[in-house]
Amino acid sequence: MNGTIEHLHSKESSADSTNHVSDETLMRRYCEKGDRVAFDELVHRYERELFGYLRHYLGNAELAEDAFQQTFLQVHLKCHQFDPRRRVRPWLYTVATNQAIDLQRRQKRHKMVSLDRRTTSKREEDVGALGQLVDAQEHRPEDQAELLEQRAQIREAVDSLPEQARQVLLLVYFQGMKYREAADVLSIPVGTVKSRLHAAMNKLGESLNHTRLPK
Amino acid sequence: MSDPVQEQLFGHLFQALDDDEQASIEARLNGEPDLWQQYCQLRRQCEQLEFLREELFPPDGLARRTCQFVDGQRRQDQGQRPGGAPLTSPAEHPAMSPERGSPSWVGHVRWVDVAVAVGLFLAAMVLLFPALQSSRFDAHITACQENLRQIGVALTEYSARNGGYFPSVPAGGNTSAAGIYAPVLFDAGFLKQAQRVICPGSSLAGRQCFRVPRLGQINSAGSDQLPQLRQTMGGSYGYSLGYMHRGQYHSARKNLRRPLFAIMADAPSVELPELQSLNHGGKGQNVLFEDGHVDFLLTPRPQPINDHFFTNDNGLVAAGVHPDDAVIGASGASPVQEAEAAWGNPNE
């Protein structure tokens, strides 16, 4: 069968491929040898994940893109400060979080903006969301309006959380980190992560009790 | 105010606990109905946040622009700063050429150097870009083959301990979807890394928060969660559905180590003709055969086999119509079409 089936590929992998290489090895290669391929691989590897995080954190696609670029600039500038005993992922999140905070300060934003605010106008956003709902289910217009309003209230409740609680919520709930990993990113004890998340959920619970979504 | 129990419950809901904590709270949940009730209440509360959890995709070319941005910074920093990573190829920086004469001559040469460098760069891009693309494509296929091989080992071990049978895909119930192979293998300890079920060429690649759900989570999932769980639990791979024999559905296939019988593959896509997988740009799919070997096939109906392994002999994505009819369904595919229709629409 092997002789007749169309083969595009053999079992052997190219020795210099970076695909199997761990983040830590890539970082070491870049720090020690300035291996740009390793650096670029790290950027591509974390493109979706870190952008998603920053986008949630900053609530704005343009700011998230700036923060993403600044994050990797810091990786370039400070890679020699990276502790090789640490994992790269939490370190990247730490750098990204700091960049997001700096960016917010520079933008003179004292209050975090919406978790999910689009770069499109509010009107476009509502029309888009409404359109999706119409496609998805044949709700009555009044139900759709109610759904949008309730979701807006939930967003507002999340946005109004204290920053520290919201950071933990983003890392654990949105980024799927373990308590231990979030503690590493924020350089705080695991117990503090747990209590902040608990406090965040309790606070949200109070709001959500008044904003039940229709099925 | 701290409440350790609730903290553990939230941790379990968000899969944020370490393994020992997870096992501990699960044991309590099994034995304490009041705690289970509290857990269900918290889960309902969290479900209201689910719509905020959508993945936010980066703008096109963000990684490329970022690399260019940092590269520009590197060039600026050259000669000014000892920090940062050293560069492996200083020859790429014509502006850094040593020993030039008068300032005016230096300026002139720099302009020429820049023009030459740009020309060389463009020529290199023209020559290298297809090769780089091809290299990346090849690397994804190789890494994907390794994933399937490892899953093949796990499936063989599973069959050795289960009377020679691979994980079954029941005809009904919460677990009646092809992707159930992954929770079964993870729960039984035959697979340990969630990334193993992600093809590096697929849209799920790079999603480091991806986790394979536990069987208990699938069994207890409500109709609002279940469709999503079923669609994703198998990662980016498809798995063999059962088959019909003498009017009865057989949910588990026996491991007969047949070299031409496909049991797993890159997940089929309804968006492409012949259900060709999207994992490798629609150019083909890796296929794991019962004897454990993996091949990259350009078509889901390879000539010597002449069995379309993404549909049964009736042309449907459903159970095989006889024991030798291989059908590999994507994670959410059900062996019984009626069941598939019922679960297929998340809004139902």
CB A64 within 8 A of CB B117: no
For residues B117 and B157, which has the higher predicted lDDT (pLDDT)? B157
pLDDT of residue B241 exceeding 90, the answer is yes
The H or E element that residue A57 is part of is helix A47-58
Q: Do B58 and A39 touch (CB under 8 A)?
A: no
Q: What is the mean pLDDT of residues A83-88?
A: 88
CB B241 within 8 A of CB B323: no
Can you tell me the distance from the alpha carbon of A90 to that of B160, in angstroms, rounded to the nearest whole number?
Answer: 39
* Site from A16, A54, A174 to mutate, B interface, most B CB atoms within 10 angstroms: A174
Can you tell me the distance from the alpha carbon of B45 to that of B50, in angstroms, rounded to the nearest whole number?
Answer: 10
Q: How confident is the model at residue A18 (pLDDT cuts 50, 70, 90)?
A: low
Calculate helix-pair angle for B4-13, B33-47, nearest 10 degrees.
60
Q: What is the mean pLDDT of residues A20-46?
A: 90
Q: Do B347 and A137 touch (CB under 8 A)?
A: yes
Q: What is the mean pLDDT of chain B?
A: 81
Q: What DSSP line would sit under B312-331, residue for residue? A: -TTS-SSSBSSTT---EEPT
Residue identified by tokens 């502790």 is: A83
Give the per-residue pLDDT at A151: 75
Q: How confident is the model at residue A66 (pLDDT cuts 50, 70, 90)?
A: very high
For residues B122 and B322, which has the higher predicted lDDT (pLDDT)? B322
Share of chain B above pLDDT 70, in %: 81
Q: What is the mean pLDDT of residues A60-72?
A: 91
Q: Do B74 and A76 touch (CB under 8 A)?
A: yes
Domain locations in chain A as residue ranges: 23-106, 114-158, 161-208
Q: What is the pLDDT of residues A100-119, one digit of tens each?
A: 988 888 775 444 444 433 33
Q: How confident is the model at residue A80 (pLDDT cuts 50, 70, 90)?
A: confident
Q: What is the mean pLDDT of residues B77-89?
A: 54
CATH topology of domain A161-208: Arc Repressor Mutant, subunit A (1.10.10)
Q: What is the mean pLDDT of residues A144-161?
A: 78
In sequence order, the β-bridge partners of residue B286 are B296
> CATH assignment of A23-106?
1.10.1740.10
Q: Do B138 and A36 touch (CB under 8 A)?
A: no
CB B225 within 8 A of CB B241: no
* Site from A43, A125, A135 to mutate, B interface, most B CB atoms within 10 angstroms: A43
Share of chain A above pLDDT 90, in %: 37
Tokens of B235: 């990662």
Give the per-residue pLDDT at B330: 95
pLDDT of residue A164 exceeding 50, the answer is yes
